[in-house]
Amino acid sequence: MGEVLGLGISHYPGFIYPDSDMAMRVKQTVTSPKVPERLKDPANWPAQMQEEWGTNEGTTFAAKHRAEFLDGVRQARQALDEFKPDFVLVFGDDQYENFREDIIPPFCVFAADEFQSRPFLRGRGGAPKPNVWEEPYDKLFVTKGHREAAKYLTTRLLETGFDMPYSYTQLHHEGLGHAFMNTLLYLDYDRTGYDYPLVPIQVNAYGRNVIRGRGGSGHLFATDGIEREPDPPAPSPKRCFELGQAVARILKESPWRVAVIGSSSWSHAFLTEKNNYVWPDVASDRKRFEELKSGNFTAWRDLPLETIEDAGEHEILNWIPLAGAMYELNQKASYCEFVETYLMNSCKCVAIFPPQEAAVRV
């Protein structure tokens, strides 16, 4: 019988860069013509956001924000090392990286023996930028895959009625998309070494904005004056939850010890239209955190997709399969911390769900 450890972290790109560069996203966003003129001035931002901005454009707060996140990530890494998984399964979104106009699957399992990635070749805003590890822009990271487990999981999902796409290679992007690669970079933030095989599962979390926004904030900076129609929606929270349940049942019956990770921040400022794309929906994130911490996983399953989109919480769809898996396995959080911010584009959460003796839910 298999055993499952549940983890949740963020893959926020800002943590790759020095503190002085972490607030780049809001600096870019306020140049958009879609942002009202008054909100281009920090004096008109929410009080907490102004406090985070401070007197040095967020650099002091960035150090605090990073430290709070890393405290949780280091605990997650310790739990991972103590568990000693045969492989790590990561639910992450694809932001116009491997999936573009040619095909946008709701989910996709990547089955490969290894993944070669150069995550520093493209910086936020385009050109490469210095990273906090002072590693070369062209550094190659070779990540072991677990092709056998990925094929087994896909086969079992198909046999049980879950129509799961799969891929043996990347389409447009060289190496792992940032949701997966950044997850591994942060789990090895202290560069002690990381050798756990990876099975990535893509979630089309961006849905109506994946092509229109080029998987990010492209909708804020279109230069042709054409307002793009929304794309078809993301898979529903209920379907994401059901995927997590199905994966949990399959893994529990498998011969492997598996760490299942939901990777993302939650509300993103550049997706939160009601806040003019300048700050995230912190209140909604707080509510999601209380639901998660208390083990009220079905509250996430029952969220309308429109509620998630209104809050800019598109990427929480990466965490909902994790919630479904933990619900299925009766696993509760032993650690669950919320890292709040108005300035740094998105609130973060780190959570650990250790294995339980309880049987699979019936």
Those residues with Cβ within 8 angstroms of residue 140's Cβ, 6 or more apart along the chain or in another chain: 116, 117, 118
| pLDDT tens by residue, 7-45 | 999 999 999 999 999 999 999 999 999 999 999 999 999
- Could you tell me which residue, 175 or 67, shows the higher pLDDT? 67
The two three-digit tokens of residue 53, written as one number: 């901005």
HSE at residue 141, side-chain half, CA atoms within 13 A, is 28
* pLDDT score of 217: 72
Give the whole-angstrom CA distance, residue 282 versus residue 299: 18
Give the whole-angstrom CA distance, residue 350 versus residue 159: 33
Closest Cα to residue 278, out of 70, 48, 95, 21?
48
Share of the chain above pLDDT 90, in %: 89
Those residues with Cβ within 8 angstroms of residue 105's Cβ, 6 or more apart along the chain or in another chain: 99, 165, 202, 204
Closest Cα to residue 122, out of 150, 153, 97?
97
Closest Cα to residue 79, out of 3, 12, 143, 150?
3
DSSP β-ladder status, 166-167 and 141-144: unpaired
Domain ranges of the chain: 3-231+245-253+265-278+310-342
| pLDDT tens by residue, 216-271 | 777 787 666 566 788 999 999 999 999 999 999 999 999 999 999 999 999 999 99
Reported pTM: 0.95
Residue 82 has a CB neighbour count (10 Å cut-off) of: 9
Residue 286 has a CB neighbour count (10 Å cut-off) of: 15
pLDDT at 103 exceeding the cut of 80: yes
- Could you tell me which residue, 229 or 315, shows the higher pLDDT? 315
| pLDDT tens by residue, 86-98 | 999 999 999 999 9
| pLDDT tens by residue, 265-294 | 999 999 999 999 999 999 999 999 999 999
* pLDDT score of 172: 87
pLDDT at 360 exceeding the cut of 60: no
- Could you tell me which residue, 356 or 69, shows the higher pLDDT? 69
pLDDT at 359 exceeding the cut of 50: no
CA distances 274 to 127, 267, 309, Å, are 31, 12, 11
Enter the CATH code of domain 3-231+245-253+265-278+310-342. 3.40.830
Query: Contact 330/356 with Cβ under 8 angstroms?
Result: yes
CA distances 11 to 8, 35, 46, 186, Å, are 10, 26, 25, 8
pLDDT at 204 exceeding the cut of 50: yes
